[in-house]
A = this chain, B = another copy of it.
Amino acid sequence: TKRYSITILPGDGIGPETISVAKDVLKLIGSLEGIEFGFQEMPMGGSALDLTGVPLPDETLSAAKQSDAVLLGAIGGYKWDNNPKHLKPETGLLQLREGLKVFANLRPATVLPQLVDSSTLKKEVAEGVDLMVVRELTGGIYFGKPRGIGTNENGEEIGFNTEVYASYEIDRIARVGFETARKRNKKLCSVDKANVLEASMFWRNRVTSIASEYPDVELSHMYVDNAAMQLVRNPKQFDTILTNNIFGDILSDEASMITGSIGMLPSASLGALGPGLFEPIHGSAPDIAGQDKANPLATILSVAMLLKYGLGEENAARRIENAVLDTLDKGFRTGDIYSAGNKLVGCKEMGEEVLKSV
């Protein structure tokens, strides 16, 4: 039997609830596919702050590094919102991404036929949307230096950050973008602000030069303001979107809301070597935490991405995806995706239904 070690970071808010369900799905799929999973649960985010004083304890990072894949629930909550930067749950997440060197963040935004009514977009605009945002995750303005709050030469107080990309950072994420598009509909749209920013002009030049390695993929470029519009106007025009860290943060959230069901959307963060990081794109939803109301499907689908992108277990991944679709076909819905005529269930029951359908 194959064996994999999985680091599990339940995190905060609804994280532990959705993780518990997703772990059961992973166990079942393992027993059915002859794969053995070893699990190690570690603290991270606000709960790690409360327990250890830091949002990403060294033990958590080193356990994660030594495992085959990392599954994260969600982090953050009102309680820690006013903490200084180095004591914010979010800082722990950035340290984890940096520590695991997961520079490529894949965020699918798909409108499932069963859930097309959840979108605030008109049915004819929303139906059939199936795009993937490939976001650079360990560079750009998130990590660039110099950064801080200080004083300028006129003695005025200033806040500043640096948007910076080196050629190797752009080249490697561009290749992930092209590879991803190649496995999809072979259309890659690189999003930047090259009419204003030098960092974007450089980005565009590098992406264009990498394109010669992928003659079968059609490359286009779009300004970020236009991309934010086009996602609302006609999201179906997009197949794969390639962009930097901050634009990817904004556009992937916009794209996910266009599907109307962000409780359904997983993500994968991958590096060149070492384990990937898999997490739902939704937050920790502190307002419904502990009430068995959370939608576990995004975390379950993150398990599918973990199997596919993290471990290369495509069969097992597909079984989970199909089980989720079957469960939706049977009419089970958590509150966030509920519509009349369906069966309202909680987090646990949704998990049990998925288990039945695997």
Contact for A198 among B149, B163, B198, B250, CB less than 8 A: B149
State whether B168 touches A164 (Cβ < 8 A).
Answer: no
Q: Using Cβ atoms and an 8 Å threshold, which residues of chain B touch A226?
A: 253
Residue of B nearest to A203 (CB): B159
CA of A256 to CA of B249, assembled, Å: 20
Query: Do residues B161 and A195 form an inter-chain contact, with CB atoms below 8 A?
Result: no
Q: Find out whether the CB atom of A158 lies under 8 angstroms from the CB atom of B149.
A: no
Known A90-B195, A224-B249; judge A160-B158 contact (CB<8 A): no
- Residues of B near A254 (CB, < 8 A) are 228-229, 231-232, 254
Given that A149-B198, A196-B90, A201-B149 are known contacts, is A160 also in contact with B163, CB under 8 Å in the complex? yes
Considering only residues 139-182 of chain A, those with a C-beta below 8 Å from chain B are 141-142, 144, 147-149, 152, 154, 156-168
A35 in the interface (beta carbon within 8 A): no
Could you tell me if A195 and B88 are in contact, using CB atoms closer than 8 angstroms? Answer: yes
Chain A interface: which size bin?
A: 35 or more
Instruction: Give every chain B residue within 8 A of A252 (Cβ-Cβ).
Output: 225
A85 interfacial contact with B, CB 8 Å? yes
Which among A157, A250, A262 has the greatest number of chain B C-beta atoms within 10 A? A250
A120-B166 contact given A157-B202, A196-B142, A253-B228, CB 8 Å threshold = no
Q: Return chain B residues, CB-CB under 8 Å to A152.
A: 164, 166
Question: Is A270's beta carbon under 8 Å from chain B?
Answer: no
Query: Bound state CA distance, A167 and B258, in angstroms?
Result: 36
Chain B nearest CB: distance from A307 CB in Å? Answer: 27
- Contacts A167-B156, A228-B228 given; does A197 touch B161 at CB 8 Å: yes
Which residues of A (96-123) have their CB < 8 Å from a CB of B?
Answer: 120-122
Instruction: Say yes or no: A85-B233 contact (C-beta < 8 A), given A122-B122, A160-B163, A228-B251.
Output: no
Q: Are A198 and B147 in contact (CB under 8 A)?
A: yes
Q: How far is the CB of A204 from chain B (nearest CB, A)?
A: 9
